[in-house]
Structure 1
C-alpha cells in the first residue's frame, strides 16, 4: 500500500474524529500561537501545519505513546531510537498537559514532536549522516525526503505510526536483505556470539586433527555455514558418522571454510591462515556495526535509480551493468590503491575512446614515471612515451634536465601495451577517473584488487562498451573501431548513468552477506557519525 492509499484508507469518519476532539475555549488561541511560532520554522514544518489549518497534532497522550513506541522499530534499520528522544517526548508531554502549561509551551511542544517525527522519517528514508561531511570525495547527490506530509498528518491523527514507518522505509531488495542480515546477526549476539580462535604459528589445513578445528567448526556453525554444506564422509575413507571427530578437519569443513573465504574476498583455498583467522575472529558486534553503516550507505544511494545504469562496487571489486532489458552484466574490476583511492561519484557515460593515448597525470608522473626515467632514459622508448611541451610540441628527451624537467607533458602512444589498454569509457567528473581496459589482465584473477591509481580497470570492457552502444541505439562496432588502429572518440547516442560507490557489506542473491575488507578505512568515520547523538 502506498502513502496515498494509506491516507485515503483512513476514510471520512477518521478525519472527522480529530476535528471533533479539537474543540474548546483555547482552540483559537492555540491556532494563533501556532501561526506565530511556525512562521520562523523550516519550510517542511510550515507546510505540515498549513495542511492541518494549524491544528495541533500532539495534544493527546495516546498519540505520543503510539509514536514513541513506534520509534523503537527503527532499531531494525540500524538507527538508534534514543536519538529521537522517546523518553523526553513522553516526559515533556506530561509537563505541558498534566501540569497546565500555557499555550506558548503547548505549541513549542507540538513543533518539537512534529520536528522529531519528520527527522526520524527523513533519516530512515535518506540517511542520518551527510556523506559530503566525511571527506571521501563524495559526489553522489542525496535527494531530500519525498514522503507525503498529508499522509504523515493523517497517520498521526489515526495513531498509525508503524504503518507510516513501513511505508517510508526503503523497499529496495538489497536494503531489505541487509535489514534481515542485521536481525540475524543480532540474534547471534543475543545467543553469545561465536568463539574466538587462538593465535597460531601454523595454519589449519584439511586433514589436521586439532582442538582448534572443533572451535572452527563451532564458529562456522554459529553463522549457518555448515548447515549449507554436507559433511563429506568420503573425504577420509572409513570415517562414517559413527566415527565422526569434531577435531578432524574434514571435507565438509573445508567446503564451509572456502565458502566463508569467498564471502570475505579471501583466497578460497580452504587453509585457515593469518588472513582467514583474522576474519573469523572479528567479533559479532563489529559485523553488526558493518551492516548498520552499509544500510546507511544504501539509504543515501538507493533512490531515484534509473531503469538502466552502471554500478561500480569499489570495495567488492565488481561492476554491474543493469541493462534496459532487465539483464545484468557483471565483471571484475581493479580499483585504486589505498593511497590513490577511487572516489565515490555519480555521473553519466558520454563516450568511449578507442585506441587511446594516455597523458600521464601529474601525480603518477611525479611519483612513478620520473624516478624511472632518471634511472634509465630508455624507459621512455620501451613504454612508447613521448615528451611534449604544454602546447603539444614534441621535445627531445636528451635535452631535458630530468632532475628539473619543468612543465613537460608525458604521453604514451596507443597500442595494446598502453596503460589504458585499447578502450576507455568516459564520464564527466572532477576527479578525472574513468573505466578502462588494461594490459595487466592477470590482476583480475586476484581476490582483492586495489592496484590502480584511482581509475577503474574493467575485465571484458570491450563487451561492456558494445552493450552500451547497442542499448543506447548508438550504431558503432567497437571491435571494428579498435581494429582500425585510429585514436577516436565514439559518442553514445544517449547518456548512460554511472554510479561509483563503496560497500563493505554486500547481500548476495541468496540473502547471505559478504563482508569486504575496508580498503580505504572509511567505515570507522561513518560509524562515529552514525552513532553521534542527534541534536534536535
Structure 2
C-alpha cells in the first residue's frame, strides 16, 4: 500500500536565500525576472521552496499555465468547493491588465498565483479542513503532497491542469458524490413545509397529507408526475414510489409511511446539498489508496465490504456505536484474529452499566459468566466485591458463543481500543437502525468472514469446510473426465460411513472453536481496515442518503462555509 509522503520545506530557520538575476528566454523571447528577497521574505517556507525549484525566478510567465490554473479554479465548484476561496475574482481583474502591470505588481501577481496553486492542490488532495480539528475521534492516515516535486514539470510541460486534477480522489464513492452534486443542482430551489401526522399511513388510506407527500415524491423523482393525481388516496403507484424513496434513504422499504419516512421527506434541497458537500470533503480526507485487500465500513449505512483487487467478495451487516458512544473513524491494518476470545469489561461499561446492575444484584456476575480480579490478579468472590471501588477491579467474561465478543475478534492497532467482533446479540442485525453498540463494530457472520480473509495464508490451512469440499468436488470432477477413470464401488455400509464422516467433517477453525480455548492467528498479508463515515452518494437507483447518526454533516458544512 502506497502513501504519499510530504517533504516539508519547513525548518527551524529559513534557508538562506540565493539571489538570482533576470535572464532573457530566447525561446519565449522575453525576460524572466528574478524574485527579490524582500518579496519572499514574509512568505511561508513552502512557497519559498516552490520558488527555489525555479532558482528564485517568476513561475507563471506562460499564459497557457495561467489559463490552466484559472480553469481549475473555475471547476472547483464541481468538487463542492468555492472558486472565490482561490482568489478567482482578483485573478480575473489582474489578468485583464496583465500587460500593463509594473514589475513589482507583476512579481506580486506571480506570488499570488503560486499561493493559489499551493492552496487548491492541498485542498484537492487532502481537503479544505483538517479532520482532527473538526472531530475528536478521527484517526486517519495523514495525507500530504510534495508540491515542490510537481510544480516544475507541470510548468515546463504545460500540465498545470492535469497535475492539479491528478490530486483529486478517484474513489467511486467520490465520483458518485460529484454526480449527486450535479444532479441536485438541477432541482428547483425548495422551501418545504414540514409534513406531520400522528399515524402511520398505509396503502389505500385516505388522508389530506397524502397530497403533499405525492408532491414531495414527484420533486425527488421517485414518482412520475403522470403516474398520480394529487388526490388524498394512498394509491398503488404512490405506494411503489414510497418504497423506492425508502430504499434510497436506507429505510425499511415496506411502503408504510412512519416517522422515519416523514423525517426523510421533510429534508429540502439545501439541506441535502449541504450533506453532499460535507461528504465530498470527507472523501478528500480518506486515503487515496485503500490497499489491495481491505475491509471498508460505512458506519451510517451499517455495512462492511471485503474488497480484494478491486472486487467486493463479501459483504456483512454491522452494528456500530450508539451516538453517546460513537465508533471512531479510522484506518489501520488487521494484525490478528482471536477465536474464543475472553472479554475484559472496558472502563465506560464498568462505570455506566456493570457497577449499577451488579450493585443491585450480585448474581449479575454468574449470570454473565464474569470473573472478578483485584489489582494483584487474584480472583474475587462477587460477595467480597466492593461496589464503591468498582473501577479498581478487572472483569473478565469467559469464552463461548454467548460471550459479548462472540466467537471471534478482529484486532488492529489504534488509539481508541476498538476492534471488530462477533456478538451475543445477533438479533440486532435484523434491525434497520443499528447504532446500538458501545463503540466497537459488531459483524454479522464474522467467523466465515475470518476464514475467507485467512484462506490464502499458511498453505490454505484456515479454509472453510465449504471451500474444502468445493475444491475436492472439482478434483473429483477432473478425475472423472480422464479416459481410464474407474469409480470405486462402495457397499451400502461403506457409503453410509463415508456420508457420516463427511457430515461430521470440520475445518481447522471450527475445531478450534469447539475446544473453547482462546486461540490467536496472525494475519500475515497486508489487509487494511477503514472505518469510515459517509451519508450520501449516487448509484443506479438515484441519490442515496443515510441518517446522519452522529450529527456530523451540518457541523462540517458550517465549518466549510466559514473557513
Q: TM-score range by the shorter chain?
A: 0.7 to 0.9
Deviation at 1:86, TM superposition (A): 1.0
What residue number does 1:86 align with? 88
1:199 aligns with 2:210: no
Matches within 5 A, 1:438-517: 438-473=423-458, 475-476=461-462, 477-508=508-539, 510=540, 512-517=542-547
| Pair 1:305–1:32, CA change in 2 (3 A) | same
| Pair 1:32–1:83, CA change in 2 (3 A) | closer
Cα RMSD over matched residues?
2.8
Matches within 5 A, 1:221-260: 221-226=218-223, 246-260=231-245
Q: Aligned equivalents of 1:123 and 1:57: distance in 2?
A: 21
Query: Which residue of 323, 328, 337 corresponds with 1:338?
Result: 323
Match of 2:335, SS state, is strand
What residue number does 1:176 align with? 175
What residue number does 1:3 align with? none
Query: Which residue of 203, 218, 222 corresponds with 2:215?
Result: 218
Q: Aligned equivalents of 1:193 and 1:59: distance in 2?
A: 46
Q: Aligned equivalents of 1:401 and 1:164: distance in 2?
A: 65
Query: Which residue of 387, 402, 415 corresponds with 1:417?
Result: 402
Matches within 5 A, 1:17-56: 20-21=27-28, 23-24=30-31, 27=32, 30-33=33-36, 37-38=39-40, 41-42=43-44, 44-56=46-58
Preserved contact between residue 305 and residue 316 of structure 2 (Cα < 8 Å): yes
| Pair 1:210–1:19, CA change in 2 (3 A) | farther
Q: Aligned equivalents of 1:298 and 1:422: distance in 2?
A: 33
53-62 or 458-467, which deviates more: 53-62
Preserved contact between residue 420 and residue 443 of structure 2 (Cα < 8 Å): yes
Q: Aligned equivalents of 2:536 and 2:26: distance in 1?
A: 48
1:76 aligns with 2:106: no
Deviation at 1:532, TM superposition (A): 2.2
What residue number does 1:13 align with? none
1:287 aligns with 2:272: yes
1:307 aligns with 2:338: no
Q: Aligned equivalents of 1:392 and 1:230: distance in 2?
A: 73
Deviation at 1:69, TM superposition (A): 4.7
String of CA shifts for 1:166-213, please: whole Å, max 9, x gaps: 44433322211110110000111xx23375453223333211234432
347-356 or 267-276, which deviates more: 267-276
Q: Aligned equivalents of 2:341 and 2:112: distance in 1?
A: 59
Matched residues, number: 492
Deviation at 1:370, TM superposition (A): 0.9
Q: Aligned equivalents of 2:64 and 2:256: distance in 1?
A: 59
String of CA shifts for 1:464-497, please: whole Å, max 9, x gaps: 1101111444733322211121112221222421
| Pair 1:257–1:146, CA change in 2 (3 A) | farther
Match of 2:337, SS state, is strand
Deviation at 1:304, TM superposition (A): 2.0
What residue number does 1:375 align with? 360
Structure 1 unmatched ranges of 5 or more: 1-16, 232-240
Preserved contact between residue 405 and residue 421 of structure 2 (Cα < 8 Å): yes
What residue number does 2:303 align with? 318
Deviation at 1:62, TM superposition (A): 7.7
Superposition TM-score, scaled by structure 1 size:
0.84
Deviation at 1:302, TM superposition (A): 4.3
Preserved contact between residue 122 and residue 145 of structure 2 (Cα < 8 Å): yes
Deviation at 1:500, TM superposition (A): 0.9
